[in-house]
Chains A and B, each alone.
Chain A
Amino acid sequence: MPDNNPSSNAAEVLIIRQTADRVLAQRHAEILATVQGAIAEVLGREPDEVTPTSSLMNDLNAESLDFLDLLFRLESAFGIKIPRGGIQRATQGSLTEAEFQQNGVLTEAALERLRILMPEVDAARLKTGLTPREIPALFTPETFARLVAWRIGEMEAEKAAAPAPASSTEKAAG
C-alpha cells in the first residue's frame, strides 16, 4: 500500500467539504433548486423528473457533453468559475496516480476522500472495488449543489482576502 499519511489525506478534502457545508448551511434549498432546474434544461426533462438523488448518468442518461453544458450554466447562474474536471481533480488532489488507483481500482485513500467529499452518496457504494470510471455515475443534483457551494465559498474567501480598495483620502485630496 502507498505510504501516504491518512490524516493529511483527509485534511486536504476536509477543507473542501467544510467550505461547501458552510455555504450549504445557509443556501442549500436555493442552490439545489437552481441546480435541479439547470439539469432539467440540459437534459430536456420536466423539473419533477430531477430528484435530489437521481443519478445523472444512470437515471437521467446524462453523458460528458451534458456535464460540460451543465457546468457552463451553473457558472453563469451563480457567477462562479468551476474548473472542468473539478470533481475528479478534488477527488485525486495531491495523490499520485499510484496512490489513487491500483489495477484500475480506487485505493482506500481515494475512497476515504470520496466519503468525505460526497456525503450525499451512500457509504456502502464507496467500497473496495469501485473504479474511477464509476465515479461520475454517483453524481446527483446534490453532488453539483455541493460543488457549487464549494466554489461559492472559495470565491467569498478570495474576496475577503483581497487587498482593501484605495483609501478615501485620495478622493478628498482631488
Chain B
Amino acid sequence: MRYLLLDRITELQPGAYAVGRKCVAMTEDYFTDHFPGFPVVPGVLIVESMAQLAGRLITYSVAAQEGPVLPVLLTVGNARFRRFVRPGDTMEIRADLLALTEGAGRCKCAARVGETLVATAELMLGYDTGPITGVGTGVIPATAREELARWAEQVNRNLLGDLVVTRP
C-alpha cells in the first residue's frame, strides 16, 4: 500500500500549528481486512496522518540554515480514538507545536470529521540530532538523506498546493 496518508495541507504557520486534510476513500487497501463488510480507518493510521502533518509542521518550523529536516516519529502518547472514521469522511487534522528544540519537537494533534472530534494524540518527533540526543535521523547515511530531502521537497510542494510557506 502507499503510505502518504495526507492529501492536503491547508494551513501552516511555522512555529505554531498546521491543518491538513485526509479524504477517506472506499478503495483504500486496508478496508479489505478492517473490516470486511464494515470499513473503518485503523486508529493507528489516523495517528500516522497526524505524524505526517506534525512532521511537516516541524520541517517548516526549523530555521532554513539548519538544512534538510527529516522528522521521524519517536513517541505517541495519550492516543484516543473516539469515533469510527468511515469511507466518504474527510478528516481535518490539526497539529499544534507544543515545543521545538534542537533535534526534536512535540505536537498535540486532533482529527475531526466535520465538527466531531474523532481522535487525539500527543506526538514527539525527532530530526537529525545525532550526537546531542542519540536519536533521530542522524543515523541515516548522507546520500540517503539527500535523496529523501529531495523527495520530501517534492511531496511537500504538492501537499501545500497554493500555500506558500517559508522556513524561518
Contacts and interface: CB of A to CB of B under 8 A. Distances in A.
Interface in B2-39: none
Given A68-B104, A69-B75, A72-B106, A84 B133 contact: yes
Given A65-B75, A68-B74, A76 B99 contact: yes
A85 B98 contact: no
Given A68-B74, A68-B104, A69-B124, A76 B135 contact: no
Contact of A68 (B98, B126, B131): B126
A64 interface: yes
B124 A84 contact: no
Contact of B135 (A68, A72, A83): A68
**In which size bucket is the chain B interface?**
10 to 19
Interface residues of A, number: 14
Given A69-B75, A69-B124, A84-B129, A64 B135 contact: yes
Interface string B130-152: 01111100000000000000000
Interface of A: 63-65, 67-69, 71-72, 75-76, 81, 83-85
22 contacts: A64-B133, A64-B134, A64-B135, A65-B74, A65-B75, A65-B135, A68-B74, A68-B126, A68-B129, A68-B133, A69-B74, A69-B124, A72-B104, A75-B101, A81-B101, A84-B101, A84-B103, A84-B129, A84-B132, A85-B131, A85-B132, A85-B133
